[in-house]
Structure 1
Amino acid sequence: MARPDKVAAVDEIAEKFRGSSASVVTEYRGLTMSQLTTLRRSLGEGASYRIAKNTLVKRAAENAGLDGLEELLVGPTAITFITGEPVDAAKALRDFAKANQALVIKGGFMDGRTLTVAEVNQLADLESREVLLSKLAGAMKGTMAKAAGLFAAPASQVARLAQALADKRAEEGGAAPAGADADATDATEAPASADASEAPASAES
């Protein structure tokens, strides 16, 4: 019959597997307690580093529905359960392993399948979510600025057209008094021609 403490440990590890976006299996043989503490701190709040017996991890993986981890569970095993950004945790593990050769990355699990050591390193080489979002925001900002310029150009053209029409109306409005003067000139000339026609009549009498 299984001991209650082992059952509890299996349940806890299985729950960590279920709640993780990714997990990385490592061998920690030769690391001091001080180094392990440094490693845990380097992982940040988005990941936890758990040392466990292989038999318990195997049962927990089975309970959580994870297949393919058995071949990684050889030698002293510790698992990084990642709940935050997988790229950041993978970078932290890779960098720590470079500085401390006693830490050996053996593989991992993400998106329903196991990861090889090469794939974990490839994950570490990716840009983090924050960097990608920053680049996306910069690209969107540039695109929006160009779009704003394109939208502003027709608007300024419409404004210039409206101003030209207004100027044209003003010119046409100023020509109206000139037409009125022409009518007045015609009116003054009419009596003159009438006097000319009457002059011969008075001469004949």
Structure 2
Amino acid sequence: MNREQKKELIAELAGLFGSTTTVVVTHYKGLTVAELEDLRRQMRAAGASFRVTKNRITRLALAGTQFEGLADLFVGPTAIATSEDAVAAAKVSVEFAKKKDKLVVLGGSMEGKPLSVADVEALAKLPSLDELRARLIGMITTPATRVATVAQAPAAQLARVFNAYATKE
């Protein structure tokens, strides 16, 4: 890799770190290519990305970004999981690490705040942004549904009473 390619890669990674909210750093030693592709596919489905990185280039790209504190984690065979959704990268990384013990979560950062392994695992347990939106919409529409049911109940009861009188005679 020549200097120009390295500069382009550093600029690309710096742009990635500038546009993401969450970064999870992992060790992937011992995973097969098929397992890495499966992990990437799961990340894409969740709206995140997974990328094997060169440590020195990544440390250079981290300089001046909100994730600068992660530089110490880049030792050995590292990869990063990134997402704009605060939960997606952590959730997929932790779930995959539970299935495949060769993927080890080292830590991460969310909007510049460093996260330990325990913090990443706690973040993974939270519902995603889409799940929270669905819950909120459900809570908003539930009272309206109940009001409609209560409003219909007296009319339905009257109709049953009239029907009972009509069938009685």
Specify the alignment match of 2:111 in structure 1.
111
Q: How does 1:55-204 map to 2 (within 5 A)?
A: 55-83=56-84, 85-145=85-145
The residue matched to 2:82 in structure 1 has which SS? Answer: strand
Residue in 2 aligned with 1:38? 38
Counterpart of 2:138 in structure 1: which amino acid? G
Per the TM alignment, residue 138 of structure 1 is displaced from its structure 2 partner at its CA by 2.0
Q: Secondary structure at the match of 2:69?
A: coil
Distance 2:133 2:10 in 1: 37
Root-mean-square deviation (CA), in Å?
2.3
Deviation at 1:65, TM superposition (A): 4.4
Among all aligned residue pairs of Structure 1 and Structure 2, give the percentage whose two residues are the same amino acid: 39
Preserved CA contact (<8 Å) 2:50 2:80: yes
2:66–2:111 CA contact under 8 A, matched in 1: no
Aligned length: 151
Q: TM-score scaled to structure 2, two decimals?
A: 0.79
Q: Which has the larger radius of gyration?
A: 1
Distance 1:66 1:43 in 2: 20
1:76: how far off? Answer: 0.9
Q: Aligned partners of 2:41 and 2:18: how far apart in 1?
A: 23
Name stretches of at least 5 consecutive residues in structure 2 with no aligned partner: 152-169
Superposed CA offset, 1:134-163 (max 9, x none): 22222212223456689x6xxxxxxxxxxx
TM-score by length of 1: 0.66
Q: For 2:17 and 2:107, how far apart are their aligned partners in 1?
A: 15
CA contact (8 A) 1:67 1:113 kept: no
User: What SS does the corresponding residue of 1:86 show, helix, strand or coil?
Assistant: coil
User: Structure 2: how far apart are the matches of 1:87 and 1:44?
Assistant: 13
Residue identity opposite 1:117 in structure 2: V
Superimposed CA distance per residue, residues 5-43 of structure 1 (whole angstroms, 9 cap, x where no aligned partner)? 211111111111011121111111111111100100011
Q: Which structure 1 residue ranges, 4+ long, deviate > 6 Å from structure 2?
A: none
2:81 partner SS: strand
Higher relative contact order (CA 8 A, sep 6+): 2
In structure 2, give the amino acid aligned to 1:14. A
Compared with structure 1, are the counterparts of its residues 3 and 96 closer, same or farther at alpha carbon in structure 2 (3 Å cutoff)?
same
Q: Secondary structure at the match of 1:109?
A: strand
* Amino acid paired to 2:113: R
Cα deviation for residue 107 of structure 1 reads 0.8
